[in-house]
Amino acid sequence: MKKVLFVFLVLALSIGIFAAKYPTKPVTIICPWGAGGGTDRLARFLADQLSKELGKPFVVVNRTGGGGAVGHAAGAYAKPDGYTLTLVTLEIATMHWLGLTTLTYDDFDYIAQLNVDPAGVIVKADASWNSVTELLVDIAMNPGKLLFSGSGAGTIWDLSRIGMLNAVGIPPDYVIWSPTKGAAPSIVELLGGHVDVITCSIPEAWPQIAAGQLKALAIMSDERDPRFPDIPTLKEQGINWSSGTWRGVAVPKGTPDDVKTILGNAIQKIYNSDAFKDFMNKNGFGMTYKNSKEFYNFVKEQDKVWKAVLELGGYIH
């Protein structure tokens, strides 16, 4: 009996020593989106900070394609040993509903959420609407009159406007969605008078808002953003809807708990650092932290929310 206990003790100590030494070699962070974009910039900053914190190189690898499906799948199906992390994005809760992949949120273990960028409702500075309520009344009274833009069809800024309209009982097809490749070309369309409203994050349009060319009627967050304190939330205006894109760190399902704890502690320390706050502010990224359990529950709920919105928009049946 003593011999058996001794063997178990040795095994337990060996596992503990292994976990304590993690990482013992370079770690890959998979970014499902292209180099230079917001997710890539966050991934590279995080890799640099984790390298300093844990003493081994953390290297970003961009695995793009399939509307995020390629990179997310590469991360989810990697060996669950802690040496492959993924900077997961909102698309993990939408792309399987769109038929882009069989991968779902439940194929990952979650470490921490780091970011959320709420959608804004933005119009030209000389537009007649001075509140989102005035805009929504116009939409309800004049179906098919207004053009919205912000991103591609079925992507987050499109889904944000669908959810907003649904929250006040307006069918999504009461406005026309004019798809673009992202916020930047949508802003150009708005400035040129080719569309009437855009939904995108406030930081993406802030230069034009600050210059007096555009105005933000609302932000789709639970509370006002302290960086933009004059922009009211939808909820303040009686519309029970919040929406935005987000990013966080996940690992393959079955990664050892001790390794996840080491990563979680390191990432939380980085999140609370002045360097992280400065980086996020400089890039216009909203900061939101959720721990492993909170992040998992959030993504699980997001999966249900976006399925319903995609159905409302006619993207899935």
**What average pLDDT does this structure show over 59-65?**
96
Cα distance between residue 25 and residue 37, in whole Å: 27
**What average pLDDT does this structure show over 267-289?**
96
**Residue 74 pLDDT class (50, 70, 90 cuts):** very high
Does the pLDDT at position 299 exceed 50? yes
Does the pLDDT at position 8 exceed 80? no
Q: What does DSSP say about strands 287-290 and 27-31: parallel, antiparallel, or unpaired?
A: unpaired
What are phi and psi for residue 83, nearest 5 degrees? -100, 5
Instruction: Return the percentage of the chain with pLDDT > 90, whole number.
Output: 88
**What average pLDDT does this structure show over 100-110?**
97
CB 85 within 8 A of CB 29: yes
Does the pLDDT at position 45 exceed 50? yes
**What average pLDDT does this structure show over 111-119?**
97
Of the given ranges (19-23, 36-40, 67-71, 168-172), which has the lowest mean pLDDT?
19-23
What are phi and psi for residue 281, nearest 5 degrees? -65, -40
For 167, residues 6+ apart whose C-beta sits below 8 A from its C-beta are: 234, 239, 240, 241
Question: So what's the pLDDT on residue 182?
Answer: 86
Of the given ranges (11-15, 75-79, 175-179), which has the lowest mean pLDDT?
11-15
Does the pLDDT at position 143 exceed 90? yes
pLDDT in tens, 180-205: 988 989 999 999 999 999 999 999 99
Question: So what's the pLDDT on residue 37?
Answer: 85
Cα distance between residue 245 and residue 155, in whole Å: 10
Of the given ranges (6-15, 20-29, 46-55, 283-292), which has the lowest mean pLDDT?
6-15
Question: So what's the pLDDT on residue 169?
Answer: 97
Mean pLDDT of the chain: 93
What's the full length of the chain, in residues? Answer: 317
**Residue 5 pLDDT class (50, 70, 90 cuts):** very low
Does the pLDDT at position 41 exceed 50? yes
For 255, residues 6+ apart whose C-beta sits below 8 A from its C-beta are: 80, 81, 82, 109
Question: So what's the pLDDT on residue 18?
Answer: 46
**Residue 20 pLDDT class (50, 70, 90 cuts):** low
CB 259 within 8 A of CB 74: no
Instruction: Return the percentage of the chain with pLDDT > 70, whole number.
Output: 94
Higher-confidence residue of 88 and 19: namely: 88
